[in-house]
A and B are shown apart, each in its own frame.
Chain A
Amino acid sequence: MWVYEKKLEYPVKIKKANPKLAKYIITQYGGPDGELAASLRYLSQRFSMVTPQARATLNDIGTEELAHLEIIGTMVRQLVEGASIDEIKAADLGAYYSDHDKAIYPVNASGVPFTAAYVQSKGDPITDLHEDMAADGTIA
């Protein structure tokens, strides 16, 4: 089960609204490579793992990704909270605003809503681990 601690894993203190930035950052919330996808991927795959090491690893990484989800949501919220409607429209967030106001809703940068199609959970531990590395491993 999950326990919630009333703190962010990393602080977010954004004073100056920046809806333009928010439009891009929200993809880390509800997009294909975002933290929601990551959490769901790990927390779903963990059931198929066999060794204690793999079960623990997927369980705990999935949990941590939820913490990251909270951070991204906070960032988007603070970037948009103090913005005027004109600033929001200028940032090309007018369509999002029509449906969601300044709320946080899981979409990618184009406004496409989150879908489980972003994750995979195939039942074979090695296969799933490859999916994890492909999804999570970013090489600069």
Chain B
Amino acid sequence: MMYQDWSMGNPCFGGMGHQPPCVPYENVITNVKLARAYVPFQKLCTLYPPDIALQKGTVFPELYSPYLKKKDFKTSPLMEECGDDDE
């Protein structure tokens, strides 16, 4: 049975270096108004393979956000900036 393996290894999520070619969300939001909340728009980058996607609860690496024990907070990927706006 052939599986589509789309895990090309987004370097943003633990792969090949620190120059991500694909950022899975917009990081500039324009035309904002006061007293409004905005949510960055998601962009498609890579997908988990189906078996991993089901285990992780999402097919999008950028949306994988597991509960962590308090002691694991500092080393969690969420605490690292990854391909974010450094400007």
| A interface residues (Cβ-Cβ under 8 A, vs B) | 10, 130, 133, 140
4 A-B pairs closest in CB distance: A140-B67, A140-B68, A140-B65, A10-B54
Q: Once the chains are docked, how many angstroms separate the CA of A140 from the CA of B78? A: 9
Count B-side interface residues using an 8 Å CB cutoff.
10
Chain B proximity of A20: nearest CB distance (Å): 19
Point out the residues of chain A lying under 8 angstroms from B68, CB to CB: 140
Q: Once the chains are docked, how many angstroms separate the CA of A133 from the CA of B38? A: 12
**B32-71 near A? 1/0 per residue, CB < 8 Å:** 0000010100000000000000100000000001111000
Question: Do the beta carbons of A130 and B65 come within 8 Å of each other?
Answer: no
Q: Once the chains are docked, how many angstroms separate the CA of A140 from the CA of B39? A: 18
Within 8 A of A (CB), among B64-87: 65-68, 73, 76, 78
Chain A proximity of B41: nearest CB distance (Å): 11
Point out the residues of chain B lying under 8 angstroms from A130, CB to CB: 37
Question: Do the beta carbons of B66 and A140 come within 8 Å of each other?
Answer: yes
Q: Once the chains are docked, how many angstroms separate the CA of A140 from the CA of B74? A: 12
Q: Once the chains are docked, how many angstroms separate the CA of A133 from the CA of B37? A: 11
Chain B proximity of A129: nearest CB distance (Å): 9
Point out the residues of chain A lying under 8 angstroms from B67, CB to CB: 140
Q: Once the chains are docked, how many angstroms separate the CA of A10 from the CA of B65? A: 18
Minimum CB distance partner of B66 in chain A: A140
Q: Once the chains are docked, how many angstroms separate the CA of A83 from the CA of B62? A: 40
Chain A proximity of B76: nearest CB distance (Å): 8
Minimum CB distance partner of B55 in chain A: A10
Chain B proximity of A128: nearest CB distance (Å): 13
Point out the residues of chain A lying under 8 angstroms from B39, CB to CB: 133
**Max chain B Cβ within 10 angstroms of own Cβ: one of A10, A130, A133, A140:** A140
